[in-house]
Amino acid sequence: MLSMSHPLNCDLLCHVVDNFGDVGVAWRLARQLTHEHGCVVRLFVDDLNTFAAICPEIQPRMGQQTVDSVNILPWSRQQQLDPGDVVVEMFGCHLMPGFIERIQRLGAKRVRWFNLEHLSAEDWVEGAHLRASPQPGGIDKLFFFPGFTAATGGLLRESDLLARRASWDRLPSARRIALRSLGLPPPPEHALTVLLFSYARGGLAPWLQAMAEASRPTTLWICPGPMRAEVDNWLSMQLATGQSTVRGSLTLCALPFVPQERFDELLWAADVCVVRGEDSFVRAQWAARPMIWHAYVQHDQAHLDKLEAFLRRYLAAAEPAVHDAVTAMWEAWNEGGELRHAWQEFCARLPQIRRHAQAWCEQLSAMPDLASQLARAWQAAPAAPAEASAPMPGAEPLK
């Protein structure tokens, strides 16, 4: 909690490049700063339709709205408003010129300015974290890098997340109840459950075939997205949302898109999580489940460096069999390799991989979470607070 005489006014600004991760991360951070750090948060987003997909309470046409005590504003409102005490631009999005001018006019004594960057396990991140980038007008913008080591800004993690997951794990009926409320049939007894939320990837047929031919039944939960078409191709039918079908040992279910608040339950319900991008990747680590990460593809193949950098950290303490099985599976998934053999080896090592995932989660949880580190970073060099009594324009709850 910040030790200021008035709640800190914090602006988060998010430009949706594509998919759901940009606003997904911004939304998590906004709520955590509000609920755990007592900030008054304004979240400016340029694509409220995408926001509404992960948070159905959002009304895309509204000029201003308050959801879960966070003030949500369309991107263009920057033009009319003064910045708060802290400004966090998400992922290097370009703020509107009028807003930048007002940050500069108020100056470093009044505004702390951060650029929250993308997550990477690469070594250079430690050196770049909290580096200042001098801006015209004599104000510094600080780079804030999430990461997996103590010298980075850490990962988003709500204070009660691991306790909630632990009580879910202790409650055998939790999965059944969650699945029923999503309209999904319970998986066959002793079935392996696999959650599929990845980018497009050809060559899925051998993987699906391997699951269909396996002695252990498998239930595959397919999230909305490009993989649905791949699966439909293999099935030679269109699987509608909520529909299930069976091929040999494999039951396939097409999931609805769930609100972000419920996404963790899908991960917790699965024995193996295929995740992607940034936010689902981090949540799978907090779920402490065996996972396969599909990195967000970059033109210059930079994502493969990110993949290798993460695998180095993730598997540093792993036993050789786990190391080899996970590396082979992740590389095959990301590099378009043949999946059948890698999957069979991965499944053969599942109990050890699960123990490894739990140990990794414990190791990560020893680090302070990202929101707390961000709050500490702005406290380290506090700017003079704005007038205590005046509520921020654009921060009033809607009547």
Distance in Å from the first CA to the final CA of the chain: 28
CB-based contact 88:114 (threshold 8 Å)? yes
Can you give 269-305 as a three-state secondary structure string? Answer: HCCEEEEECCHHHHHHHHHCCCEEEECCCCCCCHHHH
If the CB atoms of residues 20 and 99 are measured against ligand TRH, the closer one turns out to be 20
Distance between CA atoms of residues 120 and 303, nearest Å? 9
Choice from 7, 8, 12, 22 touching ligand TRH (CB under 6 A): 22
Only one of the segments 103-111, 251-259, 338-346, 371-379 lies at the binding site for ligand TRH (rule: CB under 6 A); that segment is 251-259
If the CB atoms of residues 24 and 147 are measured against ligand TRH, the closer one turns out to be 24
What is the length of the chain? Answer: 399
Choice from 113, 144, 148, 197 touching ligand TRH (CB under 6 A): 197
Does the footprint of ligand TRH cover residue 147 (CB under 6 A)? no
Q: Give me the residue label for tokens 């689902």.
A: 280
User: What sign does the CA torsion over 18, 24, 25, 26 have?
Assistant: positive
> Choosing from 85, 117, 278, 369, which is the catalytic residue?
278
Choice from 44, 145, 207, 296 touching ligand TRH (CB under 6 A): 296
Q: Is 278 a catalytic residue?
A: yes
Choice from 258, 270, 318, 370 touching ligand TRH (CB under 6 A): 258
Count of beta carbons in the 10 Å neighbourhood of residue 45: 25
Q: Give me the residue label for tokens 């095959």.
A: 332
Distance between CA atoms of residues 222 and 228, nearest Å? 7
Q: Residue 56: what are its φ and ψ, rounded to 5°?
A: -60, -15
Q: Is 46 a catalytic residue?
A: no
Choice from 280, 334, 372, 373 touching ligand TRH (CB under 6 A): 280
Choice from 7, 24, 187, 394 touching ligand TRH (CB under 6 A): 24
If the CB atoms of residues 80 and 181 are measured against ligand TRH, the closer one turns out to be 181
Does the footprint of ligand TRH cover residue 44 (CB under 6 A)? no
Only one of the segments 3-11, 186-194, 276-284, 376-384 lies at the binding site for ligand TRH (rule: CB under 6 A); that segment is 276-284
Q: Which residue is nearest to ligand TRH (CB)?
A: 21
Does the footprint of ligand TRH cover residue 310 (CB under 6 A)? no
Only one of the segments 17-25, 146-154, 201-209, 376-384 lies at the binding site for ligand TRH (rule: CB under 6 A); that segment is 17-25
Compute the half-sphere exposure of residue 369: CA atoms within 13 Å on the CB side of its CA.
19
- Least distance in Å: CB of 151 to ligand TRH? 22
Only one of the segments 36-44, 168-176, 277-285, 387-395 lies at the binding site for ligand TRH (rule: CB under 6 A); that segment is 277-285
Report how far Cα 271 is from the mean position of its chain's Cα atoms.
19
Choice from 146, 154, 187, 277 touching ligand TRH (CB under 6 A): 277
Candidates 23, 115, 35; CA nearest to 60 is 23
Only one of the segments 243-251, 278-286, 352-360, 380-388 lies at the binding site for ligand TRH (rule: CB under 6 A); that segment is 278-286
Choice from 31, 77, 175, 276 touching ligand TRH (CB under 6 A): 276
Q: Where do contacts with ligand TRH occur on this chain (CB under 6 A)?
A: 17-22, 24, 54, 118, 197, 223, 257-260, 263, 276-281, 296
Q: What positions carry a catalytic annotation? A: 22, 278
